[in-house]
Amino acid sequence: MASAPTAPPAARFPASPSRAPFGRFLAAAFTVVLAISLREAGVDPRLLVQSDAVGNAARFVRGMFPPALGVDFLGLLVRPVIETIQISLMGTTIAVVIGFPLGLLATASLMWRGALHERTPVARRALLGGVPYGLARALLSVFRAIPEYVWAFMFVRAVGLGPFPAVLALGVAYGGMLGKVYSEILEGVDSRPIEALRAAGASRAAIVLYGLVPSALPHLVSYTLYRWECAIRAAAILGFVGAGGIGQQLALSMRMFQFDEVLTELAVLFALVAAVDFVSGRIRGRLV
Amino acid sequence: MSDTRATAGVGGAHWAWWTVAGFAALVAWSAHGTRVDVGALLGAEGLGQMTAYVAGLFPPDVSPPTLRDAALGAFETFAISFVGSVLAVGLGFSLALVASRTVLYRGILYAGERLAPAGRAGRIGIYALARGSLNALRTIPEILWALIFVFIVGLGPFAGVLALGVHTAGVLGKLFAEVIEDIDPRPIEALQATGASRLAIIVYGILPQAAPQFLSYALYRWEVNIRAAAVMGFVGAGGLGQRIHVAISLFHEHQLLTLLLAIYVIVTVVDALSAYLRARLL
Amino acid sequence: MYALSDVRKVFGNDAPALDGVSLTVGRGEHVAFIGPSGAGKTTLFRLLNLTLRPTAGVLLIDGVDVAALDGAGLRRARRRIGTIYQQHNLVGRLRVVHNVLAGNLGRWSLSTAVASLMRPRAADAARALEQVGIPEKLWARTDELSGGQQQRVAIARVLLQDPDVILADEPVSSVDPSLALTIVTLLRDLSHQSRKTLLVNLHSVELALGYFPRIVGVREGRIAFDLAPDEVTPELLGALYAGHSDATRQLDRIHDGIGSYGTACRPLPGFSK
C-alpha cells in the first residue's frame, strides 16, 4: 500500500485461529494412507512409459482400426443388444416389485411415526409398525450391500447359467436401492394433504392411496427411470462375468484380442446407453 | 369449453392406458427373452439348491493363512479404491476445467474481451473434445477398462487403479464441470474487476465455491469404487475379486465365504468413513 | 479520467441499455448517479469498470481508448479501477483476510496468489480493516458477517487494491439505513484523502443530493441531467422518476423535509453546499 501509516505492532490485530486440529490431522492421515496405498496397489508410473506398456497400448489402439463392420459380425451383435435391453428392463421391473412394498414398510411416517399414528397406543405401534419397519430396513440394507455379481453367482446355483440369474441379481440389488430411496421420497412428502385427509376421517389405506402416492409418484417414477439408466450399464457389466448381452461379447472379443470387434461393440454400447439415457430423460422431463 | 375439457380428460386417460399397456408388453417381452422362470426359482429344486449352496458355505474358514490372505486382499482392494479415487479427482478436475464453457469461452470471464473468431472456435473445439473424452471415459465400464489396462500393464492391482481412476475421472469430471458452470458469478465479476488473471479468479473465486460439492461427489464415488474394485479382481486386477475368482474356480467354499465377509467388512468401513467425512467437512 | 462520447450498449436483440451517453469525469471528482431501476446505471458502471465493452461510441480512460485494450493491458487498466457492488461480491467461504487481500490479485503472480491463500500477509489486511472499522473480523468466515460488515470488507479490499478510481454500484441499497450514511461517508472520506475519483450509483436521492457535489440523472439509457445538487429541482427529479412509484414516494418525503438518515448533512471541506 502506497500511503500506509507506520505499521502497528503485530500484536494489534487478532492472531490467526489455531489451525483447526482436525484439518491438520486429516491432511496428515490422508498423506499417510495415500503413501501406503500407493505401495499396496503396486502403483509404478514407470511401468506406463516402459516399452512393454507403450507397445501394448499401441497394439491395442492400432488393432481397433478399422472397426469390424462386416455384415455377419454386425448381425451377430443384434441378439446380445436385445438381451442387454431385456435384462435391464426385467431387472428393473423385479427391483420395483421387491423395492416398492419393502419401501412402503420402511417408511417411518407410514409405519409408526408422525401424524398417522398419534392416536395409536405405543405397544401396538411398536409391534405392528416398528418391527416390520426394522425388518424391512434391515432387508433392504442387506440387498444393497451385497454386490450384484455375488447375487448373480448365488442365483446361478439356483437356476443355472444365462441371463435369468443376472436379472434376479439386478432385481434384488436394485430392489434394495429403490426401496431405500422410495422410503426417503415418501418420508419427504408434504404432510398437509395427509392431515387434511385424516381430519376428514379417511382410512389409512385411503390416505396412502389418495394423499401419499399421487404427490410422490412423479419422484418415484423419476428415480426408477434413473435406476434403469444404471441398470443398462450394470447389465453390460454383468455380461462380462457371464450373464450374456453385449458385455459378454466385449469380454469375448477382448480375450481373443480382436480389438476391431471391441471398437464396434463399444460403439454399440455407447449408442445403447445414449438411447436409454435419452428415452429416460424425455419421460422424466414430462413428469416433473 | 366444457366439451374440450372433457375430451382432454378422456384423451389423457387414454394416453395413460397406452403407456401402461406398452410398458406391460415390454416387460412380457423381456421376461420371455431372459427366460424368466419363476417356477425354477421358487420351485423346490431351485430354492433347495440355493439354500443348500449357501448353507454349504458355512462355516467360514478362519484359519490364520486364510484370514491373512483375506486381510491382504481387503487392504489391496482398499488401496486400489483409494488411489483410484485420488487419481480420478485429479484427472477429473483437470478435464472439468476445460469442459466448462464458463471457464473456456463464455460468461462473465469473457464479457469484456474480444476473442478472435479463430481463437474462439479453437476453444469451443477444446470444450467439445473434453466433453467427448469425459463421455468416453464414463461409458466404457470399469471392467472393460480393467481388461484394457491388464493388457497394457499386466495383471495385478495397478491395472485396477488405472481402470478405476480413468473411469471415475469421466464420471466426476462431468459432475465437476456442471458444478463449475452453476456457481454464483457475482463474486467472480468482482474479482475480475480487480484486474486479476483468469487463473487467479479460478483459484480465488471458483474453487472455494465449488470445493464442497466436489468433495461430496468424490466421497460418494469412493463408496461406489470400493465395490467396483472388488469386482475388477475377477478379470485379474488384484484385490479380493481376484482371490474370489480363484476360490470359486477351485471350489474352496469356506474360503469363499471368508472372502465374501471381507468384502462386506471393507465396504461397510468405506461407507462409514465416507459418511463421516461428508458430515464433518460439509 | 473518463471521457465517454456517444456510447451505446446493446445486449442481444433487446432495446439498447445505454444510448448516446456522453460524459466527462475529471480526476478526483466525486459524482453521484441517480435514476429509476432499469435505467442503465449498472450497465454504465460495468462499462466504466471494463467488465463490458461498448457496442458503439468511444470510452476513453485516462486518454486510452478502451476498445484497444485486451489481455494484459485490459487487466492493468482494470487494476486501476476499484469496484464495490450492492451485495454478494465477496467469496463467502473464504475468510475475511483472503477477501481483503484479493485486492492485490491484479498485481500478484499466480504463485504469489496461491501462496497467500496458505500464508496470508495478515498485517496488510488488518490495516485496511481498521480503516473501515472492523479489525476484529480478520479471521472470520466472510459469509458469517452481516451485510453492512461485508460491504466494509469490500471497501477494505478496494483499499488494498489502491486504485485511481472507485466505482460503487448501489453500495448501500441492501444495508441498514443507519449504516448507509456511515458507509457513504467512509467512501467519501477515503477517496478524498487519497485524491481518488469516486463514482457512486445511489438509490437514495437524499444521500446523493446531500453528499455529492455533482449529480448525474440517468433515465432509460440516457443521461437526463448533469448538475450540482442545488440545481436539481423537484421538477427534474419528478421527470426522472416518472412512472416509478416507490421512487416518487421517496421524493415526496424529501420534499416534505423528512429525512431517512437522521443526521444533518455534513458538507465535505472544499465542496460547496
B190 vs C53, C79, C85: nearest CB? C85
- Which value, to the nearest 10 degrees, does the dihedral of the CA atoms of residues C169, C171, C175, C178 take? -130
Q: Does the CB of A269 have a partner CB in chain B at under 8 Å?
A: yes
Chain C contact for A13, CB < 8 A? yes
Residue boundaries of the structural domains of chain B: 65-281
Q: What ipTM was estimated for this complex?
A: 0.86
pLDDT for residue B30 is more than 60: yes
User: Which residues of chain C are in CATH 3.40.50.300 domains?
Assistant: 1-80+165-273
Element (H, E) at C59: strand C56-61
A-chain residue closest to C141, CA distance: A17
Mean pLDDT by runs of 10 across the 288 residues of chain A is: 44 63 86 92 85 88 87 89 91 93 85 71 78 89 81 78 88 92 84 79 77 82 88 87 84 89 90 88 77
The predicted structure's pLDDT at residue A215: 81
Full set of structural domains in chain A with CATH: 71-287 (1.10.3720.10)
Cβ–Cβ below 8 Å for B209 and C157: no
Mean pLDDT of the region C61-74: 88
CA–CA dist B95, B91 (Å, integer): 6
Burial code (b: 16+ CB inside 10 Å, e: under 16) for C219-258 equals bebbbbbbeebeebeeeebeebbeebeebbebbeebeeee
**Run of H or E including C6:** strand C2-9
pLDDT band per the 50, 70, 90 thresholds, residue B279: confident
Query: For residue B108, what is the nearest residue in chain C, using CA coordinates?
Result: C51
Q: What is the pTM of this model?
A: 0.80
Q: Is C242 helix (H, G, I), strand (E, B) or coil?
A: coil
Confidence category of residue C99, pLDDT binned at 50, 70, 90:
very high
Q: Which CATH class is domain C1-80+165-273?
A: alpha beta
Contacts of A22 in chain B (CB under 8 A): 280
Average pLDDT over residues C240-264: 63
Residue B19 cell numbers, joined: 403407456
- Is B96 in contact with B213 (CB distance < 8 Å)? no
What is the β-pairing status of strands C222-227 and C197-201?
A: unpaired
Return the C-alpha cell found at A228: 434403469
- The answer to whether the CB atoms of B200 and C103 lie below 8 A apart is no
For the domain B65-281, what is the CATH superfamily, name and number? MetI-like (1.10.3720.10)
- Stretch C58-65: mean pLDDT, rounded? 90
Residue A286 carries which side chain, given as an amino acid letter? Answer: R
Cα distances from C110 to residues B161, B193, C34, C114, C161, in angstroms, run 32, 16, 38, 6, 16
Position A115 scores a pLDDT of 63
Are B37 and B234 in contact, with CB atoms under 8 Å apart? no
Each residue's pLDDT tens digit, A227-260: 898 899 889 888 887 778 888 898 889 889 999 9
The reply to whether residue A158 touches residue B82, judged by beta carbons under 8 angstroms, is no
Rounded to a whole number, what is the distance in Å from the CA of B198 to chain C's nearest CA? 10
